[in-house]
Amino acid sequence: MQQYFTKWGGVLLFFIGSISAVQAQYCMPSTNCNAGDGIREFGIAGFFNASACEMDDGVAGYGDFTDLTGLEVGQGVPYTVTLRSDFGNQEISIWIDADNSESFEDSELILTDEPVGTDQVTTEVVIPATIPIGQYRLRVQAAYFASSSIDPCTVGTFGETEDYTVNITAPPACLPVSAATATGVTGTTADISWTENGDATAWDIEFGVAGFIPTGLPNVGYDNITNPVTLTGLAAVTDYHVYVRADCDMDNVGVSSWTGPLSFTTLCTSFEPPYLETFAIDPADCWTEYGDGTLTTGPLAPGFSSWFPWGFANNGELILFRSK
């Protein structure tokens, strides 16, 4: 119980009551992400979150991931950001509320209107060296066919907003790598390369089928490797995620944070007899449907036909398939 006295108009007023503090709150924009718009993958410094069309705190198109741990970055350090949507023509921006004012200003943008679609996109950001060590709100926002950086509290009709807690630390002694790339991908191998941002001469790689939970340790045979390196023993037509870190002391202790995940899909391989393809899926993996040709000429041109895997409306015509 608190007592307050004040004078107004020559009359002494006496109030007795309880006072409750008025709490400020981050804005939570409401948008439509049901068709796939928004953020489906966000990763930085080894932190990775795959999400859906979120509805937290009763707000459509808003995801509150501030309880997740592990998002830690260093002052003044460059990092690779991983982004993906389930719909094309998204523009994604990222803020860090550097003054903990529970609002986001233009000066707090670290990524502005990055084009993102259904394929994974990686880009580089630099954490401002002027942000004091501590915890802050990080906001990732996507807008469909429009700039997302204009107003962190207004997205538009289609898009999504996700909030995270980021821990800002002093610059690490071992800097993370950037620009990880997969080239020369075959059905069973892939060449991985990256850019070293410090003076490391050895690196570690952890990889697995997309969606695997990283252990924080390199795969057997991929500890203290060189740049580039070839991943072997992969499965054909499979999505993979790859994480890379610098191992400055070559001891798995003096290491950088992980960069990734880098995504790639292995190619088809030759079929080994005996082999049976039921074509229960149209088109089956590693096969192309041709709409023209005969048993004599073979497939002539890729196209469409009246064949359906479920059998409805099939007219009995000859349908040719060719393996890729």
CATH code, domain carrying 161: 2.60.40
* Two tokens, residue 130: 């002027």
pLDDT of residue 137: 98
Give the domain CATH number at 190: 2.60.40.10
Assess if residue 18 is contained within a domain.
no
- On whether both 296 and 244 belong to a single domain, the answer is no
pLDDT of residue 157: 96
Cβ atoms of 209 and 231 within 8 Å: the answer is: no
Rg of the Cα trace of the chain? 26
- On whether both 150 and 185 belong to a single domain, the answer is no
pLDDT of residue 312: 53
311: alpha, beta or left? (left if phi > 0; alpha if psi -120 to 50): left
- On whether both 163 and 240 belong to a single domain, the answer is no
- On whether both 190 and 301 belong to a single domain, the answer is no
Assess if residue 229 is contained within a domain.
yes
- Identify the CA nearest to 257 among candidates 105, 127, 158: 127
- On whether both 109 and 207 belong to a single domain, the answer is no
Cβ atoms of 166 and 71 within 8 Å: the answer is: yes
Question: By residue range, what is the domain housing residue 204?
Answer: 178-265
- On whether both 210 and 163 belong to a single domain, the answer is no
Q: Peptide bond before 78: cis, by omega within 30 degrees of 0?
A: no
Q: Which amino acid, one-letter code, is at 125?
A: V
* Two tokens, residue 94: 């990222």
Number of C-alpha atoms within 13 angstroms, CB side, residue 82? 25
| Count of residues making up the chain | 324
- On whether both 134 and 197 belong to a single domain, the answer is no
176 CA to centre of own chain: 17
Q: Which residues contact 153 (CB under 8 A, 6 or more apart)?
A: 27, 29
* Two tokens, residue 55: 């509805």
Assess if residue 9 is contained within a domain.
no
CA distance 50 to 291: 38
pLDDT one digit per residue (tens) for the chain, 324 residues: 344 333 344 444 443 444 334 445 999 999 999 999 999 999 999 999 999 999 999 999 999 999 999 999 999 999 999 999 999 999 999 999 999 999 999 999 999 999 999 999 999 999 999 999 999 999 999 999 999 999 999 999 999 999 999 999 999 999 999 999 999 999 999 999 999 999 999 999 999 999 999 999 999 999 999 999 999 999 999 999 999 999 999 999 999 999 999 999 999 988 777 878 776 766 667 877 777 777 777 777 777 666 655 555 555 544 555 555
pLDDT of residue 147: 97
pLDDT of residue 285: 76
- Identify the CA nearest to 148 among candidates 29, 41, 59, 25: 29
Measure Cα distances from 188 to 148, 193, 203, 227, 272 in Å.
Answer: 39, 17, 22, 19, 15
- On whether both 156 and 192 belong to a single domain, the answer is no
- On whether both 49 and 152 belong to a single domain, the answer is yes
- Number of domain units in the chain: 3
- On whether both 59 and 115 belong to a single domain, the answer is yes
Assess if residue 145 is contained within a domain.
yes
CA distance 176 to 172: 9
- On whether both 66 and 149 belong to a single domain, the answer is yes
pLDDT of residue 278: 73
Greatest Cα pair distance in the chain: 108
pLDDT of residue 155: 94
Cβ atoms of 252 and 230 within 8 Å: the answer is: no
DSSP state of 23: P
- On whether both 71 and 120 belong to a single domain, the answer is yes
pLDDT of residue 20: 39
Cβ atoms of 141 and 33 within 8 Å: the answer is: no
* Two tokens, residue 160: 């999504």
pLDDT of residue 15: 39
> How many helices and strands in the chain, by DSSP H and E?
0, 23
